[in-house]
Amino acid sequence: MSDKKSLKDINRRNFFKVAGAAGVAAGAGVLVSRNPLLAKSQKKSKGKQNNEVAPGQLDDYYGFWSGGHSGEVRIVGVPSMREIKRIPVFNKDVATGWGITNESKKFLRGRSSGDTHHVHGSYKDGTYDGKHLFVNDKLNNRVARIRTDYMEVDAIVDVPNIQGAHGLFPQRYPKTDWIVVNSEFQTPVPNDATNKKAFNDPQQYYGMHTIIDAERMAIVCQVMVDENCDLAATDYKGLYSMTTSYNIEKGVTISEMLASDYDYMLVFHWERIRKALRDGKHKTVNGVKVIDGREGKSDIVLRIPIPKNPHGINISPDGKYAVCCGKVSPTVSVVEIEKIALAYAGKIKPADCIVAQPYVGLGPLHTTFDGRGNAITSIFIDSTNVKWNIAKAIEAEKKGEEAKKENPHIVDVLDVHYQVGHIMATMAETKEADGKWLISLNKVSKDRFINVGPLKTENDQLIDISGEKLRLVHDSPAYLEPHDCIMVRRDIIEPHVKDRHDMFEHPQVVTDNQVERKGNNVTIRMTAGAPIYGLQEVKVKKGNKVTLIVTNHDEISDLANGVAVSNYDINFVLAPWQTKSVTFTADKPGVFWIYCTNFCHALHLEMRMRFIVEDQLIGSRKVLAGLFATLSVVQLLYTSTMNLILISR
Ligand code: K7E
Ligand code: CA
């Protein structure tokens, strides 16, 4: 359902001409002179919000940051910008024991690395319900769910048939039943030896728009397309999900990916997806229902041409517009969502869904909203945040080229430091966007902090957007490498957050201290309560497979206990009433102190116990005895056989 004839239409825009991505990269390191957008001086109001959160005071917003290739999610208080917590997700985290405990290993299934880009909350009726967060892993192609009562991961789903699991977005209306996740990298489907003829033929590589059931955290289906699927969004009516695609060329090199003057915004029609599933119009690949969404193969996907290699796609809080960022084009494309139905029905061309294409600067990546009709777009190469008015952009588009020259849509341009990726305003991905604060997640901090060596931190800048002008108020370092964030009003999250675990939720909760031995397996069930463990010593034999299950019985808020087994590389903490377990082989004989790592009590240092691994003397004697027994049986068999032979003769 694409519309190549409308290409001319799009080409009327003044593309940012680059000789491949090399040009983009060259621009990236340099502060290019400001675009002339703000030539005329206008009197405009500045916001006057105070970002200081005094000692003992609480932040107004829960900020949820992706941690990029650290594999985690972080909680940042806004506007103080204090990093309050890290939630391990796809990484190994020795502070909490994530990746060490059996509970976390069950989720990680042998992997200890990930790349999180997009954190989003679960929705009800177009705004956050405060219950869950979802985050992608671009590296190992997974989606994790975090429950906000504990701020811990409670599910991870592997997504087969894809690579570069990138854009992720939950259903916003009526509530989050589905989550979509995109594959940025096209691959053969299936991507294994059964399909090896496709390995060297990129024409047989496909992108996928995967739909996940948010409740079960299981895959509903995948819609296969020729294009790659980059960023994702859902509308505010539960009708569509959308993605940007920058590689409709099916290129495998940068220049191939930049060959076409346009790419697509892809729209996925949910009712038609449901119908295809009902009608059995799918094949099964690696256990997943795959629907053919390629051009001409089904009516599920609408292809709206967008200038050259777009990146971000964001929906305005009134639900009216999808804004696609140009990246290689200095424009954003504003798609009126109402018109999408007309395009599906063939009444208008897909390109006619675009109602404005304003100039914003060199390298627009992502757009956010203040809830008052303005959009703010991050401009990577210019290193700016550009605030522009959506209605004015549409109006100028209607009036024509002459009206557009003056850039009447531009409200303000703010320099940021430096090379901004995502930006996000408070509550901006909901119908309750409140236009208070904006975060500019800058990739390069350079001279903004004391020099910490060649590998420098990121710079997350806090900007007051309550006035007409954008006012920079705070620089905040962030360890590698947040991509995106959301900021959720405190009153939405806070009621869900607990101080204690539900002790009996864990199937192996320990109420009685005991050591159980079954063959080579030793199970130690133990309580912890500052400043004492339920057991003072445990003896095992060398070679025993030991499972240590510990429940923290302290119910006082914030009283965590640690469990570390010296020289055994075991280290985890237990929040109040939490149970965790580890399984390991006691392969080193000796006395090993198990101690509490998390300061819990005046007698914290005394909170320790002996773990004694006895050399397997008795055991080895048993082995020897066994050997002798086997030998005697063999001998007995031999003699009796010989005797039989002799007798039979
Ligand atoms: Cu622009 Cu992964 Cu959202 Cu990073 S992506 S910038
Ligand atoms: Ca392209």
Q: What is the pLDDT of residues 202-252, one digit of tens each?
A: 999 999 999 999 999 999 999 999 999 999 999 999 999 999 999 999 999
503 CA → ligand 2 middle, Å: 53
Of 188, 87, 182, 97, the C-alpha closest to 137 is 182
Contacts of 278 (CB under 8 A, 6+ apart): none
Strand, coil or helix: what is 413? strand
Which pLDDT value is given to residue 246?
98
The span from the CA of 267 to the CA of 506, in Å, is: 42
Q: Confirm or reject: Cβ of 471 under 6 Å from ligand 1.
A: no
What's the one-letter identity of residue 560? A
Quote the ligand 1 centre to 314 CA distance (angstroms). 12
Give 40 or 91, the one with higher predicted confidence.
91
Q: What is the pairing mode between strands 471-478 and 590-595? A: unpaired
397: part of which helix (H) or strand (E)?
A: helix 390-399
Q: What is the pLDDT of residues 523-534, one digit of tens each?
A: 999 999 999 999
Token pair of 612 as six digits: 């004694």
Query: pLDDT tier at 43 (50, 70, 90 boundaries)?
Result: confident
The mean-pLDDT minimum among 455-459, 491-495, 547-551, 613-617 falls in: 613-617
Side-by-side strand order, sheet with 232-234:
232-234, 240-245, 262-269, 301-307
The answer to whether 544 and 522 are in contact (CB under 8 A) is yes
pLDDT at 13: 37
CA distance from start to end of the chain: 92
CB crowding 77-116: b at 16 or more within 10 Å, else e: bbbbbebeebbbbbbbbbebbbbbbebbbebbeebbebbb
The average pLDDT across 158-179 equals 98
Does the Cβ of 562 fall within 6 Å of ligand 1? Answer: no
The answer to whether the CB of 181 is under 6 A from ligand 1 is no
- The whole-number pLDDT of residue 11 equals 39
Residue with tokens 């914003």: 360
Which candidate, 310, 147, 302, places its Cα nearest to that of 217?
147
Using a 6 Å cutoff on CB, does residue 423 contact ligand 1? no
pLDDT reported for residue 25: 40
Cα(164) to ligand 1 centroid in Å equals: 12
Q: Would you tell me how many other CB atoms lie within 10 Å of the CB of residue 418?
A: 19
DSSP output for 487-503: EEEHHHHGGG--SS--G
Summary mean pLDDT of the chain = 92
Q: Which ligand is nearest to the CA of 262?
A: 2
Asked if the model's pLDDT at residue 558 lies above 60, the reply is yes
Q: Is the CB of 422 under 6 A from ligand 1?
A: yes
Does ligand 1 come within 6 angstroms of the Cβ of 483?
yes
State the distance from the centre of ligand 1 to the C-alpha of 423, rounded, in angstroms: 10
pLDDT at res. 616: 75
pLDDT level of residue 630 (50, 70, 90 thresholds): low
- Atom of ligand 1 at shortest distance to CA of 441? 6
Q: Which atom of ligand 1 is nearest to the CA of 422?
A: 6
Q: Which ligand is nearest to the CA of 117?
A: 1
Q: Is 308 in the pocket of ligand 1 (CB under 6 A)?
A: no
Structure tokens at 410: 């531009």
In this structure, which ligand is nearest to the CA of 228? 2
In this structure, of 20-34, 154-168, 231-245, the range with the lowest mean pLDDT score is 20-34
Measured CA to CA, the distance from residue 486 to residue 600 in angstroms comes to 33
Res 626 pLDDT > 60: no
- From residue 533, how far is each of 375, 559, 594, 596 by CA, in Å? 56, 14, 9, 9
pLDDT exceeds cutoff 60 at 40: no
Atom of ligand 1 nearest to the CA of 118: 3
* Residue-wise pLDDT tens digits, 332-360: 999 999 999 999 999 999 999 999 999 99
Calculate what percentage of the chain has a pLDDT beyond 70: 88
> CA 85, 143, 65 angle in degrees (round to 5)?
30
Whether the predicted pLDDT of 588 surpasses 90: yes
pLDDT band at 643 (very low <50, low <70, confident <90, very high): low
How far is 151 from 283, CA to CA, in rounded Å?
A: 37
142 CB under 6 A from ligand 1?
no
User: Which among 313, 325, 483 is the best mutation to test ligand 1's pocket, defined by most ligand atoms within 8 Å of the CB?
Assistant: 483
Helix/strand/coil (H, E, C) string of 31-99?
CCCCCHHHCCCCCCCECCCCCCCCCCCCCCEEEEEECECCCCEEEEEECCCEEEEEECCCCCECCCCEC
Ligand found nearest the CA of 65: 1
184 CB under 6 A from ligand 1? Answer: no
Please report where in the chains the tokens 């087994």 appear, as a residue.
Answer: 565
Counting from 1 in the atom list of ligand 1, the atom nearest the Cα of 365 is: 1
Does the C-beta of 421 come closer than 6 Å to ligand 1? yes
